[in-house]
């Protein structure tokens, strides 16, 4: 039996969550306030943003729109690496629960993201999960790898070995 859209997205998420967690494990808690540039998020804010992003799936599958003008969103800023990882693990488990049993019909319902009267995007739920959550997380995970490099923290491999890995592929 072929996978449903929700099952396919969940499979991708499971693979990528393991890679994301490896990156978050490396965040040095004594550097959470560090910023590479005055316009950049702090390390803690960026890592917290990555850790909380999986939680947004509940909003996407439970509604047909998100209006930032009506949102009471408060960014998560961890005080420690343990708190960061606990937040990530909680939302990773919640991601899978939110999509469990969702039919293709439910995943193809139009979903809108807007700011007041300004419509940012209208797209099927599956595309919102893929773009608004997964791709968004990968983008910020890439930023986090640069932050870690600038702080001279060994960067873990995500899609293959990094300069910090010993032995390369399989080594």
pLDDT 10s digits, 77-97: 999 999 999 999 999 999 999
Q: Which pLDDT does position 71 carry in this prediction?
A: 86
User: How far is Cα 104 from Cα 32, in angstroms, rounded to an integer?
Assistant: 40
Q: Give domain 15-150's CATH architecture.
A: Up-down Bundle (1.20)
CA 93 to chain centre: 13
Decide if 50 contacts 18 (C-beta within 8 A): no
Q: Which pLDDT does position 107 carry in this prediction?
A: 98
Q: Which pLDDT does position 167 carry in this prediction?
A: 60
Decide if 57 contacts 99 (C-beta within 8 A): yes
Count Cβ atoms below 10 Å from residue 30 Cβ, excluding itself: 8
Q: Which pLDDT does position 72 carry in this prediction?
A: 87
User: How far is Cα 22 from Cα 160, in angstroms, rounded to an integer?
Assistant: 13
| Residue showing tokens 């499979």 | 11
Q: Which pLDDT does position 73 carry in this prediction?
A: 87
143, containing H or E segment: helix 136-150
| Residue showing tokens 């693990």 | 89
User: How far is Cα 137 from Cα 156, in angstroms, rounded to an integer?
Assistant: 16
Q: Which pLDDT does position 3 carry in this prediction?
A: 93
Handedness of CA 79, 81, 83, 87 (dihedral sign): positive
Count Cβ atoms below 10 Å from residue 81 Cβ, excluding itself: 18
pLDDT in tens, the chain (171 residues): 799 999 999 999 999 999 999 999 999 999 999 999 999 999 999 999 999 999 999 999 999 999 999 988 899 999 999 999 999 999 999 999 999 999 999 999 999 999 999 999 999 999 999 999 999 999 999 999 999 999 999 999 999 899 998 765 554
122, containing H or E segment: strand 118-124
Q: Which pLDDT does position 171 carry in this prediction?
A: 46
| Residue showing tokens 């419509």 | 119
């Amino acid at each position: 039996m072929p996978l449903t859209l929700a099952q396919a997205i969940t499979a991708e998420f499971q693979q990528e969550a393991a890679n994301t967690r490896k990156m978050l494990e490396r965040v040095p808690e004594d550097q959470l306030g560090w910023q590479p540039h005055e316009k950049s998020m702090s390390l803690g804010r960026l890592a917290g943003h990555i850790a909380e992003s999986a939680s947004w799936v509940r909003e996407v599958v439970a509604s047909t729109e998100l209006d930032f003008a009506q949102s009471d969103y408060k960014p998560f800023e961890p005080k420690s690496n343990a708190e960061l990882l606990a937040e990530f693990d909680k939302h990773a488990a919640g991601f899978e629960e939110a999509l469990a049993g969702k039919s293709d019909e439910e995943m193809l319902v139009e979903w809108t993201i807007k700011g007041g009267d300004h419509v940012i995007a209208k797209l099927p739920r599956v595309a919102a999960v893929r773009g608004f959550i997964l791709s968004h997380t990968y983008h910020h995970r890439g930023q986090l790898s640069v932050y870690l490099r600038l702080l001279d923290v060994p960067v873990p491999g995500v899609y293959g070995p990094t300069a910090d890995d010993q032995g390369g592929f399989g080594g």
